[in-house]
Structure 1
Amino acid sequence: MVDSVRAAVAKLIVRGSQETDPAVAHYWRMPKYFFHITHDRTEIDREGEELPDEHAAWKEATVTAGQILQGIDGKLVPGWDWRMEVTDEFQNTLYVLLIQAQKPKVDRRRTRGCGRRRP
């Protein structure tokens, strides 16, 4: 079996092609990564994307997140977080990008009078 795999790999290198027989195809397939989004609802990525490695998946996640956040167009409001979860083909979570929209609670006693003392 090892010799047949080596022969097939050698054939690919010579041919410069990624076409393989089914016995060797497993060795040439790139891993698949999935990008699930949660905002006002969860959108599960069922297709995924083949990328060379986890670093490429991180780069794709950050670029895509930036594009999506630009398109939110004012729909991100305090109390509604935006989240992208990057998983591998076995659904192991690799990365989570989280944008939290919060409105801080203001202590009215501290802001009254703008901190000035009366003479």
Structure 2
Amino acid sequence: MIGELQSKPLTNTILIGLGTNGPFSQSQFDQIMHIIGTKREVYFINTNVDQDWQEEVNDMLSSGSKRYNNVHVIDWNNYSAGHENWFWDGIHPNIQGRQIMVDFVGRNIIADEKY
């Protein structure tokens, strides 16, 4: 993902969904923010996965949003908690879950826009 950020033109609003395939470090977060800078709004969708690293990643994103004024965390983990019917396997959103996730993410970004 970091290589893609370096090789493509970036828009003023960037959405990053970490997914559920593994941990994400503070160093990786800082690398991404170094590439993106502070002039763009950056939205991270936190992770919802029953793995020991979930809380560490979500806490790191939360603390990162306090260090960078242009970083926002979309709390998919909290919003989707208790909705097992939104997932195929408890991890990957099914069709209904994807629709709900897209709506939730969109509403968060729109609510945060500065006019």
Question: Same fold, TM exceeding 0.5?
Answer: no
Greater share of residues in helix: 2
The higher radius of gyration belongs to 1
- TM-score of the pair, normalised by structure 2: 0.30
